[in-house]
Amino acid sequence: MLDATPTTLVERQALRVNPAKTCQPIGAMYSALGIHGCLPHSHGSQGCCSYHRSHLTRHFREPIMAATSSFTEGTAVFGGGANLRQALKTIYKLYDPPVVAITTTCLSETIGDDIPTIIREATESGVIPNGKTVIHANTPSYVGCHITGWSNMTASMVKYLSERSGESRNQVNLIPGYVEPSDTRELKQMLATWGIDAVTFPDTSDVVDTPQTGHFQMYPQGGTTVEALKTTGDSLATIALGPEASTQAAIALDAKCQVPAHILDLPIGVAATDRLVQTLMDVTGTQPTDEIVNARGRLVDVMTDMQAYLYEKRVAIAGDPDQVVPLVEMLVTCGAKPVYVITGAESKYFRDRTQAILGETVPEAVIRDNADLFYLHQLMKQEPVDLLISNVYGKYIARAEDVPFVRYGWPILDRVGHSYFPTLGYGGSLHLLCTIINTLLDRKDRDDPDEVFELVL
């Protein structure tokens, strides 16, 4: 497996091999699905839209609906305005979505289609019926990565929809970040338990994890409603989780409606979740419930019970910055040593925070953004690790090097559960920690000779 990967590291200037990221519009499409009744629309040639739908579908095993402007060579030369107008006509006649969220691709960005003007003209000429919401985000694929696309679309929700009425509401805005529907559900549940009113956006729970009922719902029951999004300008504060995914929207909301922003790491692990709880205490002036405190206690209990299996373990991690940073912190909290930590994104947040966490505890750690899985594999070949944590593409490295492997982050295309079982909050962190420890125990059971094979571990 991956036999062509040499151990010797050669710095590459131009060739990307086995990327640890993908392009903007897929993130924007996923974000847009977190609005209730939204049909994402990809303004470009149709290949992008098919790829993005297929990829999200493979990850969630759910229908992912989206339309496209289906550019042809003529469109590429003369501009895509006519295609978008034609698309909107067909979309409203056939599929009647309450919301359309337009994303762009490298094609429409390179030719410079002016989407706001096209939307304005389509509204004036009645192509977009009265009462329908159309928003857009520019998502050039040659800038940033899928997280950038998510961030851009999430910020567009604020720019297009948030309003400040002058009367403040006793609610917080929660931007959960580029996470699983299970994670958003977990966070919403925590706030509900606590008695905090919140507008959570985008919210893909009950959109990309819908029940099987024998009915297909083009616009599932989940998603943040446009009405709720409008009220975000009147909230007490915005809690933005995952700086790469959520900062932009939080800052936009502060700029537009003066809602103060609190930008936090994703609540993965006890320390990061504690910081979220503390922020909620500060913002609302209330105390967390016993239920929340007990959930924390159960997480710490497993950490103390099972720490022997993680202590000093060398771990390689690849993923999106927002997911990797708190995971590194959680592992360090448990005494493990994340020695190779990479992300495909370009991210100062990732570099600075990872360095701050590992600088003293694991000074030998290699930390690198804008890196790829080929590079990570080469590091692992030079000096092996005890555990690899990454999205699905890591399975090839895990097999090649015979390393225990935990699937984490996005995408996971070969297992089930990630959309149902969270990794955020005290409960989610407990689930993630158990998966990590059990993976190491499975390996111990596989490798131990018969005479020392243990019943109790």
Partner 1 sequence: MTDTTRTQTDLERQIAQASQDVKEARSPIDSTTTQTAVKDIVEAYPAKVGKKRAKHIVVRDPNIPEQTIEANVRTTPGIITQRGCAFAGCKGVVVGPIGDVVHIVHGPVGCSYYSWLIRRNQFRARANGRNFVNYCFTTDLTEHDIVFGGMNKLRQAIQEAYDLFQPPAITVHSTCPVGLIGDDIQGVSREMSEKLGISIVAFNCEGYKGVSQSAGHHIANNGFFKNWIGTNEEAEEVEGYTVNLMGEYNIGGDTWEIERVLEKCGIQVISKLSGDGSYDEATESHLAKLNLVMCHRSINYMADMMETKFGIPWIKVNFIGVNAFAKSLRKIAEVFDDPELTERIETVIAEEMAETEAQLATYRERLTGKTVFLFVGGSRAHHYQELFADLGMKTVVAGYEFAHRDDYEGRDALPNIKIDADSRNIEEIHVKQDPERYNPPFSEEALAKMETNNTLKDYKGMMPDMGEGTLLVDNISHHELDVLIERFKPDLIGSGIKDKYVIEKLGIPCKQLHNYDYGGPFAGFRGAVNFAKDVDLRVNTPVWKYVKAPWLN
Contacts of 13 (CB under 8 A, 6+ apart): none
Name which position in 125, 130, 216, 450 contacts partner 1 (CB under 8 A): 216
Interaction of residue 214 with partner 1, rule CB under 8 A: yes
**Which x/- pattern over 15-54 shows residues binding partner 1 (rule: CB under 8 A)?**
xxxxx-xxx-xx--------------x--xxxxx-xxxxx
Interaction of residue 165 with partner 1, rule CB under 8 A: no
Name which position in 12, 120, 298, 348 contacts partner 1 (CB under 8 A): 12
What CA–CA distance (Å, rounded) separates 325 from 431?
18
Q: Phi and psi dihedrals of 297, rounded to 5?
A: -60, -40
Interaction of residue 106 with partner 1, rule CB under 8 A: yes
Which parts of 46-152 are beta strand (E)?
A: 67-68, 99-104, 133-137
Q: Which one, 2 or 251, has the nearer CB to partner 1?
A: 2
What CA–CA distance (Å, rounded) separates 222 from 206?
4
223: left (phi over 0), alpha (psi -120 to 50) or beta: left
Sole window of 160-168, 209-217, 297-305, 433-441 interacting with partner 1 (rule: CB under 8 A): 209-217
Considering only residues 377 through 406, tell me which ones interact with partner 1, judged by CB under 8 A: 393, 396
Interaction of residue 98 with partner 1, rule CB under 8 A: no
Interaction of residue 107 with partner 1, rule CB under 8 A: yes
What CA–CA distance (Å, rounded) separates 185 from 206?
9
Name which position in 28, 33, 67, 310 contacts partner 1 (CB under 8 A): 67
Interaction of residue 63 with partner 1, rule CB under 8 A: yes
Q: Which one, 214 or 363, has the nearer CB to partner 1?
A: 214
Angle at 419 between CA 203 and CA 350, to 5 degrees: 75
The site for partner 1, by CB under 8 A, has a size of 81
Name which position in 40, 78, 110, 321 contacts partner 1 (CB under 8 A): 110
Cα distances from 394 to residues 115, 152, 377, 411, in angstroms, run 38, 28, 9, 11
Token pair in block for residue 291: 């239920």
Interaction of residue 296 with partner 1, rule CB under 8 A: no
Q: Is 123 exposed, middle or buried (0-12, 13-18, 19+ CB in 10 A)?
A: middle
Interaction of residue 87 with partner 1, rule CB under 8 A: yes
Q: Least CB distance from residue 219 to partner 1, whole Å?
A: 13
Interaction of residue 123 with partner 1, rule CB under 8 A: no
Name which of 45, 56, 119 is nearest 85 in CA terms.
Answer: 119
Interaction of residue 133 with partner 1, rule CB under 8 A: no
Name which position in 36, 37, 62, 99 contacts partner 1 (CB under 8 A): 62
Sole window of 83-91, 161-169, 327-335, 426-434 interacting with partner 1 (rule: CB under 8 A): 83-91
Interaction of residue 416 with partner 1, rule CB under 8 A: no
Considering only residues 327 through 356, tell me which ones interact with partner 1, judged by CB under 8 A: none
Name which position in 64, 101, 250, 440 contacts partner 1 (CB under 8 A): 64
Name which position in 141, 273, 284, 391 contacts partner 1 (CB under 8 A): 141
Interaction of residue 142 with partner 1, rule CB under 8 A: yes
34: left (phi over 0), alpha (psi -120 to 50) or beta: alpha
Which spans in 258-371 are helix H?
270-284, 290-306, 321-333, 348-361
Q: Which one, 75 or 347, has the nearer CB to partner 1?
A: 75
What CA–CA distance (Å, rounded) separates 111 from 69?
14
Interaction of residue 72 with partner 1, rule CB under 8 A: yes
Q: Least CB distance from residue 342 to partner 1, whole Å?
A: 15
- Buried-exposed string 265-277: b where 16+ CB fall within 10 A, e elsewhere: bbbbbbbbbeebb
Q: Which one, 208 or 406, has the nearer CB to partner 1?
A: 208
Name which of 35, 72, 76, 33 is nearest 55 in CA terms.
Answer: 33
Which parts of 113-179 are beta strand (E)?
A: 133-137, 172-175
Instruction: Identify whether 411 is preceded by a cis peptide bond (ω within 30 of 0).
Output: yes
Sole window of 28-36, 60-68, 173-181, 249-257 interacting with partner 1 (rule: CB under 8 A): 60-68
Name which position in 32, 40, 68, 178 contacts partner 1 (CB under 8 A): 68
- Buried-exposed string 139-158: b where 16+ CB fall within 10 A, e elsewhere: bbbeebbbbbbbbbbbbbbb
